[in-house]
Amino acid sequence: MAFNTKKIKVLQAIAFAVLILLTGIQYEHDAQALEIPPADWEITSHSGLTQYSTNGFYIDNHELSFIKTEHSCDADILYLSLTSYQEDIHRFEDEIITIKITLGEHSELIYVPVLNIADSGVGPQLITLTNFHLNTLFLEDLSNNESVLVEILEPSIFAELLTSDKELFRIDGLSQTRQKAQNLCRSGSIS
């Protein structure tokens, strides 16, 4: 009887090891499936504004953009578009929103006004947060990372009304895109 107990314990240990191995393989497969595709930057220019933007990973109509004006092509203004299906979101127009920006291990809080909330008619309402001028160090931090996590912190009721209070943006290629936008801004036309 002792021999059978030993045999059973060995078989249990082998089964457990195989289970752990398969779990590890599945985890690695899931992680590869969740890889974020490279940033797909778009540059537009109209009425003295040059904008370069990329879409969100979680929600495609979320957009992280930077704007340059014809009078200040060296400056970059953050322009963030989020969505909500909640009618109550309109009460936050012109309110200051606290946003946590995470770049790798470093996080920073910024305070940005809700500039506009537009009804799309059939889909979610589009919320525009902007007027945050990026300083050189912040731009360097952005340029040295492949992605940025944007989290809406305060007011918490505003965050709860959004389609998602977090968005991940792929930002690889930011330096090159910023340079193209700067050149476009200075030339005043799309090439």
Tally Cβ neighbours within 10 Å of residue 132. 17
Residues spanned by the domain of 53 = 42-187
Q: What is the pTM of this model?
A: 0.76
Q: What is the pLDDT of residues 92-125, one digit of tens each?
A: 999 999 999 999 888 999 999 999 999 878 889 9
What element of type H or E holds 5?
helix 2-33
Number of domains in the chain: 2
User: What per-residue confidence (pLDDT) applies to 131?
Assistant: 84
Whether residue 189 is predicted with pLDDT greater than 60 in this model: the reply is no
pLDDT at 15 over 60: no
Question: Are residues 47 and 18 part of one domain?
Answer: no
> Are residue 56 and residue 104 in the same domain, yes or no?
yes
Q: Say whether both 107 and 176 belong to one domain.
A: yes
Q: Are residues 30 and 55 in the same domain?
A: no
User: Tokens 């970059």 correspond to what residue?
Assistant: 76
